[in-house]
Amino acid sequence: MRQDHRADQRIRTGARRFLGAACIAVLAAVLTTTGTAAPASAAVPAAAQKWSSLMWHSLTPTPQYVALRKKLADQRSSLSTRSARITQARATHGAAQTSLTTAVAADAATRTSLALATEALTTARNKLTLVSRERPRSGTAVTAAKNAVAAAATTVTARRAEARTTAAALKTAQAASGAATTGLDRAVEAWRTMYAAIKINQQRLIALDKSAQYASQAAALSRTVVTEVRASFKVADTTSVNGITVHRSVAFSFRRMLADAKADGVVLSGGGFRTRQRQIELRKINGCPDVWTAPASSCRVPTAIPGRSLHELGLAVDVTADGRTLGADSPGFRWLAANAATYGFVNLPSEPWHWSITGG
């Protein structure tokens, strides 16, 4: 690794020196014709710039999308509040129904008691009439009958008061039950309204989300990017992302991928750009039958023929996690397998660690 780094460093220093001289010549030419220097990105081919722009759009949601996503989050939170209100309204409704059942039974019982007491009073009155008409008239029997009528009348008064109380309680319970039913209906309706609004906004959000479209356009362009970058590649077109040297056109996307992986608890590192010279060295180190013609698969560790590796363009990265090359069973590989396409990176199936914009 260290050797690799030093080799890269040497090449880059050399390249910078060379570029310094070249730049002065180019700048002089540009200044004589237009009076201004060409933009720094001019060195990056059109397809690579397009790829970069598509991935930027894919990974950068529009303000409208962000606003709608926020609104949806608020609406989902409101939906859960409304859901809790339904639970509460259902409990209130259940309790009101229980109270109503109790009040109906109490009312029926007091009515029956009142009817019985009224009947007893009638019987006592009839008895008093009978004993009053008896001849000879028994004073004791009349007094007893009068007392019985008075007692029955007292009971009727008491039962009537009870009946009034339970009737009032029934009315209250009926009103409470009605209110609880209305409350429950309203709570359900409020939930349904919010649910429908969320469904609509979810559809809107899907319609606004062009990230997959942009990413697939970028993917369709990736082979052209490789061809164009290969034709005009300069070491100055590379940049460092968390210590990994990659081509400028993939830097934004690659940085975001590392950051998002890290946010998911997956810390990724690795090696990106390597020089042609280093690729030649690796062909020897990795035991390829020869440097220039033997297929990559014939080496001890698969190693592309110099001039064909995307590492030489900074468009491929050999990913490591915890200082180790990524294996197919690692959490890092699983994360990349699930997410890398979102950032425009594809795996070379024979090498779980090798991720590039074409999978090559």
Residue pair 319/269 in contact by the 8 Å Cβ criterion = yes
Residues that bind Zn ion (CB under 5 A): 318, 354
Q: How far is the CB of 188 from Zn ion (least distance, A)?
A: 58
**Integer Cα distance of 225 and 221 in angstroms:** 6
Query: Which one, 166 or 330, has the nearer CB to Zn ion?
Result: 330
**Integer Cα distance of 154 and 360 in angstroms:** 104
Q: How far is the CB of 320 from Zn ion (least distance, A)?
A: 11
Q: How far is the CB of 284 from Zn ion (least distance, A)?
A: 16
Q: What's the DSSP call for residue 292?
A: S
Query: Which one, 170 or 357, has the nearer CB to Zn ion?
Result: 357
Beta strands in the chain (DSSP E): 238-241, 244-247, 269-271, 316-321, 324-325, 346-348, 351-356
Structure tokens, 198: 């969320």
**Integer Cα distance of 226 and 233 in angstroms:** 10
Q: How far is the CB of 39 from Zn ion (least distance, A)?
A: 31
Q: How far is the CB of 52 from Zn ion (least distance, A)?
A: 21
Query: Which one, 166 or 245, has the nearer CB to Zn ion?
Result: 245
Query: Which one, 252 or 353, has the nearer CB to Zn ion?
Result: 353
Residue nearest to Zn ion (CB): 354
Q: How far is the CB of 305 from Zn ion (least distance, A)?
A: 13
Query: Which one, 191 or 355, has the nearer CB to Zn ion?
Result: 355
Q: How far is CA 74 from CA 39, 143, 147, 197, 199, in A?
A: 44, 82, 76, 12, 13
Query: Which one, 191 or 233, has the nearer CB to Zn ion?
Result: 233
Q: Chain-centre distance of CA 223, in angstroms?
A: 33
**CB burial of residue 309 (10 Å; 0-12, 13-18, 19+):** buried
